[in-house]
A and B are shown apart, each in its own frame.
Chain A
Amino acid sequence: MTALAARFQTCSRAASVLLIASGAVCALVPASGMAPSGALALALAGLALGLASRPAPGRLGRSAAAVCAAALMGAGVVALIPHRGPSGAFFGRMEPDIAVSLILAGGALTATAAGARRLLLSAHLAALAALLLSLLALSGYADTVKGFFGLAAYRKMPWPAVIMFNLLCLGILFARPNEGLMKHVTSDGAGGVMARRLLPASLLIPLLLGVLALQGHRVRVFNATFGISLLVVSSIVMFAILTWLTYRALDRSDRERLRLAAILLEEAERRHLARELHDEIGQSLTALKLRLELLARASPDAAPVAPAQALCDDLLSRVQSLSLDLRPAMLDDLGLLPALLWLFERYQGQTGVAVHFEHAGLDRRFAREVETAAFRIAQEALTNVARHAGVGEVSVRAWARNGTLGLAIEDRGCGFVPAAAFESGASSGLSGMRERAALVGGQLTVESAPGAGARLSAEMPLREDR
């Protein structure tokens, strides 16, 4: 489960605790305006919610929750039967809309508690409907509104009940955040981001504005017509602002996604080209070389063949070095450690900067994306050291421990201001390295100051191993 989903579930559990506590209080305090039966029913619902929203509910807890929730639903059904429901001070009288909400919420809670995956979509829809009904009560709380069904004269639902009901419906929605309707809200994609931004606002803003408009009308600050136009105009403004903010967030994440996709695409291209050069062209040149050698051996005068042989050798080493530049085959064939050792040797030869390498736990394979990210980060960091640090040695440490692959590149060179280097864009390659790390869910830390050397480290989570 993602951190986000876990947070949703925590909210759900918090709602259950609140429900149990406030239900118990309201049942005891007559000033709450709630019939003790109703308050206890909501406390019971809280209990069921608490049982249902645990990360791994046991079978006993699940059935207990389902029974509580079903009882809640039953109470709603009984209340709908005219003049058949129990009455008296303890039971009070339940309005039809409350009864309907109770049935909806109870049903949703039963399905959630029972862990019926296929029913969760309907459960979430039912909880949503119940939420809307209780929102209606909440917005209507500011003024007397005619009974929703017209079945009975509307009696104001006591405000603690309204709040508790809202809490219950939200709790039901949050209890199983990875399934049903809610999986769209908690998804990692741009859609999820949008849902999480827009939904709370689109619920709360109209509610708030509506209450304000009703109140304004009631205390006669303005008349009904003005109230409605005020409501319309402020809704328009609020939603325009919200749309603009959402646009910006989506646009940013979209660009980020494109950049990451470009990195992946480039890496795939490089792998393909490197393979093609190495395997196809390299092998053909090898065959050509063999043929030339046989030809030289068979002919009485080998001298005319010699230039062709030299040319062939030259081509072969060029193709190989090009292939290695694109993407060293050992990264795919043998893994990270051999590729790093190869890289350091070549780097030392090309730049004269000595690499001190220490490693632990690297004698194994990691997921290809992680190996690629670590290799490219090391490569880029070393290039930076050779280009900017002005030192003759650099130390590299790599470790795989506690489910993390770590990499640290440290030099005692001239150092730099990290923020400025990130902003300079492509020249330092720091943002590229950060994106590489981000691609595998890791992060890059750059620590440096002018004159104080630099330490660049990347830590990447190891999920599934190869």
Chain B
Amino acid sequence: MLTTIVLADDHQVVLEGLKALLAAEPDFRLVGEASDGLRVVPLCVELRPQVLVLDLMMPGLNGLEVTRQLKQRLPETRVVVLSMHASEAYVSEALRGGAWAYVLKKSQAKELVTAIREVVAGRRYLSPPLSEQGIESWQSKARAAALDPFETLTQREREVLQLAAEGQTNVEIGERLRIGKRTVETHRASLMRKLALRSQADLIRYALRRGIISVE
């Protein structure tokens, strides 16, 4: 059975090379090509290819966006992303957008052929050294952690927090830390904002809860 393919790459030289490569496979049929990101989606909608080989970064509309749009409008076309970027960030973004395969441009050309055959068979494909585990580990790193607001305080703000919780006035704190009263006020306002505290009572409650001060 013939596999119909559309090629999209904004670099003419690369496009020519890819055409020559795909032409060598008897069961592949190149039905269309585009070198402008904005042209790709309409072309695919018109030609309904099985596979779109897509450069990740194209002028007009970049490959990530093309992938996203195509997933919505033409889910049966499987996107093989071809990219210079070996970073998991791009791979993860492309897969999230709906790509089936991610092939590095610096890998062997026959990998593209393998990737096309894999996605037609309904399997994902990633160019080595990329791997599903690598992507997963990257994604888990990219997930936000519960960042403790206390960690966003500077050391100075922590000192001011403690002295303020002990009931010292701005002037007293300034004398202790050998800084001006105005500076103390700035630090105090900043730490209150960061910790989302509204009053002195809030501040004391927070300090007690965190064990910064204790009830004697």
| A interface residues (Cβ-Cβ under 8 A, vs B) | 278-279, 282-284, 286-287, 289-291, 293-294, 297, 313, 316-317, 320, 329-330, 333-334, 337-339, 341-342, 357-363, 397, 399, 401-402, 406, 408, 445, 447, 455, 457
Contacts and interface: CB of A to CB of B under 8 A. Distances in A.
Nearest to A329: B85
Given A363-B144, A408-B151, 11 more contacts: A278-B84, A283-B11, A283-B13, A284-B11, A287-B17, A290-B17, A294-B109, A313-B106, A397-B147, A406-B152, A455-B154
Interface in B80-105: 84-90, 93, 105
Nearest to A286: B105
Contact of A330 (B11, B21, B87, B147): B87
Contacts of A406: 152
A360 B84 contact: no
B145 interface: yes
B206 interface: no
Interface in B132-156: 138, 141-142, 144-147, 149, 151-152, 154-156
A330 B90 contact: yes
A161 to B, nearest CB: 37
A169 B210 CA distance: 55
Given A291-B17, A334-B93, A397-B151, A341 B141 contact: yes
Interface residues of B, number: 40
A317 B129 CA distance: 14
B151 A279 contact: no
Nearest to B82: A286
Contact of A341 (B89, B146, B156): B89
26 contacts: A282-B105, A283-B11, A286-B11, A287-B13, A287-B17, A289-B106, A289-B109, A290-B17, A294-B17, A317-B106, A320-B84, A320-B106, A329-B57, A330-B85, A330-B87, A334-B89, A338-B93, A357-B141, A358-B151, A360-B144, A360-B145, A397-B151, A399-B152, A401-B152, A408-B151, A455-B154
A330 B11 CA distance: 20
B97 to A, nearest CB: 12
B20 A290 contact: yes
Contacts of A333: 57, 62, 64, 90
A316 B85 CA distance: 12
Contacts of A278: 84
A457 B87 CA distance: 27
A330 B89 contact: yes
B179 interface: no
A401 B196 CA distance: 11
B72 interface: no
Given A294-B21, A406-B152, A445-B154, A287 B141 contact: no
A413 to B, nearest CB: 15
A290 B14 contact: yes
B108 interface: yes
Contacts, number: 113
Nearest to A449: B155
B193 to A, nearest CB: 6
Contacts of B14: 283, 286-287, 290
Given A333-B62, A360-B145, A457 B154 contact: yes
B145 A287 contact: no
Contacts of B61: none
Contacts of B90: 330, 333-334, 338
A293 B18 CA distance: 11
B1 interface: no
Nearest to A344: B141
Given A333-B90, A342-B89, A447 B155 contact: yes
A409 to B, nearest CB: 12
Interface string B176-202: 000000000000000001100000000
B46 interface: no
Contacts of B194: 401-402
A260 B89 CA distance: 31
B216 interface: no
Given A317-B106, A338-B89, A408-B151, A359 B144 contact: yes
B16 interface: yes
Contact of A455 (B86, B146, B155): B155
A447 B88 CA distance: 34
Given A287-B13, A290-B17, A341-B89, A316 B144 contact: no
Nearest to B20: A294
Contacts of B146: 360
Contacts of B85: 329-330
Contacts of A341: 88-89, 138, 141-142
B215 interface: no
